[in-house]
Amino acid sequence: MLRAAAKWLALVESGHASEADHARLQDWRSSSAHHENAWQRALLLRQRFSGLPTDLAMAALDRPDMARRAAVKRALGVAALLPAAWLVGRQMPVDVWRADLHTATGEQQQLTLADGSSLLLNTDSAVNLDLLAGRLTLVRGEMALKVSASSPLTIEVPYGGIAVSHGEVCVRLNEQDCRVSVISGSAQLQVAQAATALVVNQDQQATLQRSGLGLVEAFDALLPGWREGVLMAEDQLLGNFLRELSRYRPGILRWDPALERLRVTGSFRLEDTDRVLSLLAASLPLEVQSRTRYWVTLVPRKKTA
């Protein structure tokens, strides 16, 4: 889908797209939420790469040398493809594509493993399975694993490993660390190439980092609500809530910085994020502005006289 979005972007940027091409592009975008998501991400990334000096580009295009103009146009087409190709590598890396299990944005997947353990994969996540070796590798995103007492399993992450002999854990990969929340039983956390392990018990959580193990903290009972398809908040900053909600929503979700520190409390069903935004607008001083279903901005509500 990202490759297709890159090709469409190159065609549009070339200046040779016909009305029929634009109509086909619109059909392609509207046929799938994933298509629209790929297109919007490509547009955003293209904007980030739009810092080429305009006067230099126009000077070259205005010269009478047709060969030079053709070369510049080809270069502009390549310029449109390059950020999308970078997007493919960054947003959809090969190891995610090749993972044994993976989910799209807003999708969850549940699986009962051969040993009787239960695996639940959260939105935009990927995992590899090697049950003969008693090992799972979380490649991206978030997972919940419930392990039977007779079948210990190890979850490998870039920062180390989590050994679970019984009970249930939630494991989430972030940009700089991995958060492990123990719902029941216990887990052993071990940093890569370290000799000692940290035991985390029920109702506790800790982080794995490249620099070592984080502190053991009290378990936040609201965090694993996603297992029931619910996003819960209790007097939470709206900015933090929206950052979490955007993980489950395809497309682009933005908000005015003035809304960042509003507070939100409630339980929200993740199956319909449009309704979540409507509920926020009904209870908080904000408005929902939609360019399309996949490009939404929240702004402060205008005061009426």
Work out the mean pLDDT of the chain and round it to a whole number: 82
Residues 141, 46, single domain; the answer is no
Could you give the CA distance from residue 3 to residue 67 in angstroms, rounded to a whole number? 28
- Beta carbons of 202 and 185 less than 8 angstroms apart: yes
Q: Tell me the pLDDT band of 287, cut-offs 50, 70 and 90.
A: very high
Q: Would you call 66 exposed, middle or buried from its count of C-beta atoms within 10 A (0-12, 13-18, 19+)? A: exposed
197 and 109 within one domain: yes
Residues 108 and 208 in one domain: yes
105 and 186 assigned to the same domain:
yes
Q: Where are the alpha helices (DSSP H) in the chain?
A: 2-14, 19-30, 33-48, 54-62, 66-91, 94-97, 238-245, 273-283
Query: Can you name the residues that pair with 130 across neighbouring β-strands?
Result: 135
φ and ψ at residue 87, rounded to 5 degrees: -60, -40
Region 137-145: what's the mean pLDDT?
Answer: 95
pLDDT-above-70 percentage for the chain: 81
User: Cα angle vertex 64, ends 58, 66, to 5°?
Assistant: 95
Report whether pLDDT(158) > 80: yes
Among the candidates 92, 118, 139, a domain finishes at 92
More confident residue, 248 or 224: 248
pLDDT of 58 reads 42
Task: Identify whether 118 is part of a domain.
Answer: yes
Residue 305 lies in a domain: no
What sign has the CA pseudo-torsion 256, 257, 258, 260?
positive
Quick one: 136 and 162 in the same domain?
A: yes
Q: Output the CA–CA distances (angstroms, integers) from residue 8 to 2, 5, 23, 292, in the order listed.
A: 10, 5, 12, 18
199 shares a domain with 147: yes
Residues 214 and 106 in one domain: yes
For residues 106 and 215, membership in a common domain is answered with yes
State yes or no: pLDDT of 49 exceeds 90.
Answer: no
Q: Percent of the chain beyond pLDDT 90?
A: 47
HSE of 49, CA atoms in CB hemisphere, 13 A: 18
Residue 187: CATH number of its domain: 2.60.120.1440
Rounded to an integer, the average pLDDT of 102-107 is 90
Q: What average pLDDT does range 167-175 have in this prediction? A: 93
Instruction: Provide the residue range defining the domain that includes 63.
Output: 2-92
CATH number at residue 245: 3.55.50.30
**Residue 147 tokens, joined:** 């392990």
- If pLDDT is split at 50, 70 and 90, which confidence band does 264 have? very high
Considering only CA atoms, which of 175, 169, 203, 207 is closest in space to residue 191? 207
Task: List the one residue out of 122, 121, 125, 128 whose CA is nearest residue 100.
Answer: 128
d(CA 137, CA 118): 15
- Domain end (from 191, 220, 249): 220
pLDDT > 90? residue 152: no
Mean pLDDT of 171-198: 89
Residue 66: per-residue pLDDT: 55
Q: How far apart are CA 64 and CA 79, in angstroms?
A: 22
In a domain, 181, yes or no: yes
Are residues 170 and 263 part of one domain?
no
What CA–CA distance (Å, rounded) separates 252 from 37? Answer: 8
Are residues 120 and 181 located together in one domain of the fold? yes
Q: How many domains does the chain have?
A: 3
β-strands 263-269, 230-237 pairing? antiparallel
> Which residues, 6+ apart, have CB-to-CB distance to 178 below 8 Å?
138, 157, 158, 159, 160, 171, 172, 207, 208, 209
* Residue 264, domain member (yes or no): yes
Same domain, 154 and 189: yes
- Tell me the C-alpha distance between 203 and 218, whole Å: 6
List the structure tokens of 24. 């086909």
